[in-house]
Amino acid sequence: MNERKKLSTPTTLRIAVLAMWMVCGCVLLAQPVQAMLLRARAAGELYALVAQMESRFSLAQCPQKGAVLPDAQLDTAREALVDAISADAAQAPAYWLWDLLNCLDAGAGFGRFEKYAQSLPDDPRGVILNIITQPDSDAMMRTIQDETQLSTGEVVLLYNLLKEKYPEENGLPLFLVLADRYPGNAGLWQMLVTDQWAMMRNMDAEVNIAYLYALIDIQDKWGISANRAEFYMQLGLIHQFYIDPHAPAEAARYYNLALADLVSLPNYRQSSLHVYLGEAYNSLEYPVEDILAEFETALALQEDSYPALNDLGILYLNQLENIPKARYYFYRMIELRPKNPTGVYWLGYSYELEGNIPEAKRFYNEALAIQPEYGPALKRLEALK
């Protein structure tokens, strides 16, 4: 007879405390704030447990985030939070405070942090306040370069505050200084990568290229390669899609640089990289075998890669002229995303190529039933009138 091992009392307590916080966190705004925070203040073990897990003490996923509490409740919350975190500062890095503030008073992070930090001049939060309250960006740069070392979480907090203060590209010089000041901070590099993906779609291509080169130069200066493949991939995409005229040859060069530097790049990102490279090869009219190899590698790395399925289906349909094989991939697309009209449309087009117009129209109309304004299906139906 199998017997379950009993958890030790400390382990049981830790799990119980963590479970309590996960359950209670998302109803925090619906309960008296002071009572909840005072209980948290007493739960020193919670801080230690979260720190052990290297996780954020975060209410960021609270479904009621966005509600603003009355000033009286916020004042009580502030007092309890300062007491709780100051009582065990070693286990409570500054970014815990940032997350809690964002849940309690969403949208007021910068001002709220400033109000807290003013009462904590000797705390790292006071150091961060000194940086973000400098009169201009040049003064901030000098202060960042002169300040003593901040912890990983505090650097991430500072980065978030700078983003809030400089939401447009005029904050880029500061982010570069921060990266150069803390080149070994893995969390900062991950945030730089993530934000650069967003910037790529919303900023001038030449600005993006210069920024990415600057980040790579910083890494070369310090002999590191943090998320380098992601930066090369972004450079490839900018050259392939975001500059005029497009430069697929330059894009392919950067994609291959990314493939040579896959340190810590997860499989799904490697899959995307092979999709992009295959598409660049297609634009450059490489041999179809080379293009096919990239798309098949992408699908092997991520079997539910919708872009890889799409590109493979189109390649088999238009260049390899293997309609049954193409339909295999289109049906997989439909199975993966039944509410996306793309796979349905391509099935219709495969029948149109065979001369089976009634069946082609049927699938085009099915695509329009999913998305009434789907342009490719509308265009083909108009052509078949």
Domains contained in the chain, number? 3
Mean pLDDT of 31-54: 34
- What DSSP string runs through 103-145? HHBTT-HHHHHHHHHTT-TTSHHHHHHHHHTSSSHHHHHHHHH
Mean pLDDT of 333-347: 96
Measured CA to CA, the distance from residue 17 to residue 27 in angstroms comes to 16
Per DSSP, the three-state class of 67 is strand
Q: What token pair was written down for 121?
A: 């001049």
Q: What token pair was written down for 42?
A: 């007493």
Measured CA to CA, the distance from residue 358 to residue 244 in angstroms comes to 40
- pTM equals 0.67
Domain termination site, one of 134, 157, 182: 182
Please indicate, yes or no, whether residues 177 and 197 belong to a single structural domain of this protein: no
* Residue 52 reports pLDDT greater than 50: no
* Residue 69 reports pLDDT greater than 60: no
Length of the chain: 385
- Residue 330, in any domain of the structure: yes
Query: What is the DSSP code (8-state) at residue 341?
Result: S
Per-residue confidence band for 335, with pLDDT thresholds at 50, 70 and 90: very high
- Residue pair 131/144 in contact (Cβ under 8 Å)? The answer is yes
- Residue 80, in any domain of the structure: yes
- Residue 111, in any domain of the structure: yes
Per-residue confidence band for 195, with pLDDT thresholds at 50, 70 and 90: confident
Residues 19-28: pLDDT tens digits?
A: 443 334 433 3
**Per-residue confidence (pLDDT) for residue 113, from 0 to 100:** 52
- Residue 21, in any domain of the structure: no
Please indicate, yes or no, whether residues 123 and 135 belong to a single structural domain of this protein: yes
Please indicate, yes or no, whether residues 150 and 229 belong to a single structural domain of this protein: no
Share of the chain above pLDDT 70, in %: 65
Per-residue confidence band for 83, with pLDDT thresholds at 50, 70 and 90: low
Residues 84-97: pLDDT tens digits?
A: 444 444 444 444 44
**Per-residue confidence (pLDDT) for residue 15, from 0 to 100:** 39
Please indicate, yes or no, whether residues 111 and 168 belong to a single structural domain of this protein: yes
Please indicate, yes or no, whether residues 77 and 100 belong to a single structural domain of this protein: yes
Highest mean pLDDT among 5-9, 54-58, 235-239: 235-239
- Residue 61, in any domain of the structure: no
**Per-residue confidence (pLDDT) for residue 381, from 0 to 100:** 96
Per DSSP, the three-state class of 165 is helix
Domain of 294 in residue numbering reads as 183-303
Please indicate, yes or no, whether residues 187 and 298 belong to a single structural domain of this protein: yes
Highest mean pLDDT among 110-114, 140-144, 181-185, 248-252: 248-252
Longest pairwise C-alpha distance within the chain: 78
Domain termination site, one of 274, 303, 332: 303
Mean pLDDT of 223-251: 93
- Residue 18, in any domain of the structure: no
Higher pLDDT, 168 or 296: 296
Mean pLDDT of 295-312: 96
Measured CA to CA, the distance from residue 374 to residue 30 in angstroms comes to 43
User: At 344, which CATH number?
Assistant: 1.25.40.10
Residues 143, 145, 151, 157: is their CA dihedral positive or negative? positive
Share of the chain above pLDDT 90, in %: 45
The CA-based angle 238-241-246, given to 5 degrees, is 95
Place of tokens 């210069």: 210
Please indicate, yes or no, whether residues 163 and 206 belong to a single structural domain of this protein: no
End-to-end CA distance of the chain: 74
Residues 97-150: pLDDT tens digits?
A: 444 444 444 444 455 555 555 544 455 556 776 787 787 888 888 888 876 667
Residues 160, 164, 169, 173: is their CA dihedral positive or negative? negative
The mean of the pLDDT values for the chain is 75
Domain termination site, one of 271, 303, 335: 303
- Residue 19, in any domain of the structure: no
To the nearest 10°, the Cα dihedral for 214, 219, 222, 224? 180
Please indicate, yes or no, whether residues 289 and 325 belong to a single structural domain of this protein: no
- Residue 224, in any domain of the structure: yes
Q: What token pair was written down for 211?
A: 């920024």
Please indicate, yes or no, whether residues 384 and 332 belong to a single structural domain of this protein: yes
Please indicate, yes or no, whether residues 95 and 176 belong to a single structural domain of this protein: yes
Residues 346-381: pLDDT tens digits?
A: 999 999 999 999 999 999 999 999 999 999 999 999
Per-residue confidence band for 156, with pLDDT thresholds at 50, 70 and 90: confident
Please indicate, yes or no, whether residues 298 and 377 belong to a single structural domain of this protein: no
Please indicate, yes or no, whether residues 255 and 270 belong to a single structural domain of this protein: yes
**Per-residue confidence (pLDDT) for residue 269, from 0 to 100:** 87
